[in-house]
Amino acid sequence: MSEPEAKPAPPVIFLDAIHKIYHAGEVDVHAVRGVSLAVARGEFVAIMGASGSGKSTLMNLLGCLDRPTQGRYLLDGTGVSELNRKQLSSLRNRKLGFVFQSFNLLARTTALENVELPMFYSHQFLPLRRQKEKALAALAKVGLTDRAWHHPSQLSGGQQQRVALARALVNEPEVILADEPTGNLDTRTSIDIMGVFQALNDAGITILMVTHELDIASYCKRIIIMRDGEILSDEPNLQRRRAADELALLNQREHRVKLA
Ligand code: ADP
Ligand code: MG
């Protein structure tokens, strides 16, 4: 008797010949031109490319914030184009977490309340006590338990991005989509945030991240480069950097400087 064949897991993201054409007045802008892409669970993908190459358009399509003009998109096996608005927003809330360059936190609201917000939108109607527990658990995952009751203005840029990451995690998504998440952070803080992303990825979450910095892409497992709306190259990153190791080294060096 032969062994039953192990079925390969279906990709969590599957794009088949996706196009996006913007109709802006008299001109059509063909922003994404036939992109096909499969991303398996547990991948950590950097999407690079010059300004205007279609990175954000692709992220908006992946995030179900916009619909492709043509082509097929399966998100965790579900055909996105067959869904109505309500089904689409429900799928988005369950499967995806978003992180942006500008954090997008509500200013007059505590870190904890910011993290609780997606649970209101996802209509799970959890008891308030349970929501608070889940939000605190998400803050713990990004190392911010002790800042739960701070407002964004009382937090550093890196801490604010950690709150945004906790907010992206709170509905336990399959995939995190991040558009230039370190774009507003200094080098040291960027490494720190890449360390948080790597730890989350080690724990199993799939990440797609737009960045124009090769330094940042070098922490990812796979690097896709876009040009003029197309995928120019798509390669595994064999020399992946580990943020935690680099931070430990930086700390050691600073410690030595202080002692000298
Ligand atoms: P990137 O994020 O790589 O800088 P974008 O996806 O933002 O690139 O843009 C790709 C192309 O699509 C650009 O030529 C841009 O001007 C155009 N574009 C983006 N958004 C719109 C829109 N809402 N309407 C019309 N054109 C757009
Ligand atoms: Mg962009």
Predicted confidence band of residue 2 (pLDDT cuts 50, 70, 90): low
Mean pLDDT for 206-213 is: 96
Mean pLDDT of the chain: 94
Ligand 1, atom 23: nearest CA belongs to which residue? 22
- The one-character DSSP state at 184 is T
Mean pLDDT for 225-235 is: 98
Tokens 């910011």 belong to residue? 114
Percent with pLDDT over 70 in the chain: 97
> 125 CA to middle of ligand 2, Å?
34
Strands (E), the chain: 13-24, 27-39, 44-49, 70-75, 78-79, 96-100, 175-179, 206-210, 222-227, 230-236
pLDDT, position 3: 59
> 230 CA to middle of ligand 2, Å?
14
Give the residue, out of 18, 19, 29, 51, with the most ligand 1 atoms within 8 A of its beta carbon, to mutate for a pocket test: 29
pLDDT, position 258: 84
> 229 CA to middle of ligand 1, Å?
9
Tell me the pLDDT tens digit for each residue of 164-193: 999 999 999 999 999 999 999 999 999 999
Neighbour-count burial of 193, counting CB atoms closer than 10 A to its CB (0-12 exposed, 13-18 middle, 19+ buried) = buried
Burial 195-214 (b: 16+ CB within 10 A, else e): bbbbebbeeebbbbbbbbee
Tokens representing 46 are: 């950097």
- The one-character DSSP state at 9 is P
> 51 CA to middle of ligand 2, Å?
7
Tell me the pLDDT tens digit for each residue of 10-20: 899 999 999 99
Ligand 1, atom 21: nearest CA belongs to which residue? 22
Burial 37-63 (b: 16+ CB within 10 A, else e): bebeeebbbbbbbeeebbbbbbbbbbb
Is 70 exceeded by the pLDDT of residue 84?
Answer: yes
Give the residue, out of 20, 47, 51, 57, with the most ligand 1 atoms within 8 A of its beta carbon, to mutate for a pocket test: 57
Spatial distance between the Cα atoms of 102 and 160, rounded to a whole number of angstroms:
9
Q: Which fold has domain 13-251?
A: Rossmann fold (3.40.50)
Q: Which residues pair with 100 in a beta bridge?
A: 179
For the CA of 54, the nearest ligand: 1
Is 70 exceeded by the pLDDT of residue 54?
Answer: yes
Tell me the pLDDT tens digit for each residue of 98-116: 999 999 999 999 999 999 9
Spatial distance between the Cα atoms of 26 and 179, rounded to a whole number of angstroms:
29
User: What residues does each domain of the chain span?
Assistant: 13-251
Count the Cβ atoms, other than its own, within 10 Å of residue 11: 18
> 4 CA to middle of ligand 1, Å?
47
Pocket of ligand 1 (CB under 6 A): 22, 24, 29, 31, 49, 51-57
> 2 CA to middle of ligand 2, Å?
50
For the CA of 100, the nearest ligand: 2
For the CA of 57, the nearest ligand: 1
- The one-character DSSP state at 82 is G
Ligand 1, atom 18: nearest CA belongs to which residue? 31
Mean pLDDT for 197-207 is: 96
Spatial distance between the Cα atoms of 206 and 212, rounded to a whole number of angstroms:
20
pLDDT, position 259: 84
Mean pLDDT for 227-245 is: 97
Tell me the pLDDT tens digit for each residue of 111-145: 999 999 999 877 778 899 999 999 999 999 999 99
